Homo-oligomer: A and B are copies of this chain.
Amino acid sequence: MSAPPISRYPVPTLAELPDDIRARILDVQEKAGFIPNVFVTLAHRPAEFRAFFAYHDALMEKEGGLTKAEREMIVVATSGANDCLYCIVAHGAILRIYAKNPLVADQVATNYRKADITPRQGAMLAFALKVAVASSEIGEEDFTAVKAHGFSDEDAWDIGAIAAFFALSNRMANLIGMRPNDEFFVMGRVPRVKQTDPAPRKS
């Protein structure tokens, strides 16, 4: 059996890509040891690619009250609610590495109520999931609930905006049939082994 396609759409070769996009992809490849399929599949549309990763970095690389692991928890939990295979598997791997916890990604993708997380993180995920699946019902009481756990208003924006950005990301992955790289399925599952950070970085 030949390898299954990683997208319903044509996947450009690195040589075909604009310089800035190729540079970013080579940078990721160097750090992660392979190229996550989200990069090459979305590169079919360079302008959308640039906006997508600029938005991603603005939310996932910024300073603030959320750790990197917590940001990935939001991605994995909301992608679970949207049944997005690519994001659950790829960001699940990143979450395992950031959290140094081989179990938490599968837990959070399935049911955050049963995950080994803090009550504060549980409140964070409840807020994120409401943005993901019932955003029109968001009200002051939801902000009050996360602020009772020490999150600021800016943190609440971060939580909600990550959920909102992955609402886009999940739909794009489902639309084009984006396939997760095989590497992601096992990455970070054996905690003592040193792993290279696969997360996109600006610098």
Contacts and interface: CB of A to CB of B under 8 A. Distances in A.
Nearest to A178: B114
Contacts of A189: 185-186, 189
A27 interface: no
Nearest to A80: B110
Given A82-B135, A136-B174, A189-B185, A179 B114 contact: yes
A157 B135 contact: no
Nearest to A109: B110
Contacts of A103: 182, 185
A19 interface: no
A171 B58 contact: no
Interface residues of A, number: 63
A201 interface: no
Contact of A58 (B45, B84, B135): B45
Interface in A128-163: 131-132, 135-139, 143, 153, 157, 160-161, 163
A14 interface: no
A168 B164 contact: yes
Contacts of A132: 171
A167 interface: yes
A27 B10 CA distance: 36
A113 B57 CA distance: 30
Interface of A: 4, 8-9, 45, 47-48, 50-52, 54-55, 57-59, 62, 80, 82-85, 88-89, 102-103, 106-107, 109-111, 113-114, 116, 131-132, 135-139, 143, 153, 157, 160-161, 163-165, 167-172, 174-177, 179, 182, 185-186, 189-190
23 contacts: A9-B157, A47-B54, A50-B54, A51-B51, A51-B54, A83-B110, A84-B135, A85-B107, A89-B106, A102-B182, A102-B185, A102-B186, A106-B185, A114-B177, A131-B171, A135-B175, A136-B174, A160-B176, A161-B172, A161-B175, A164-B169, A167-B168, A186-B186
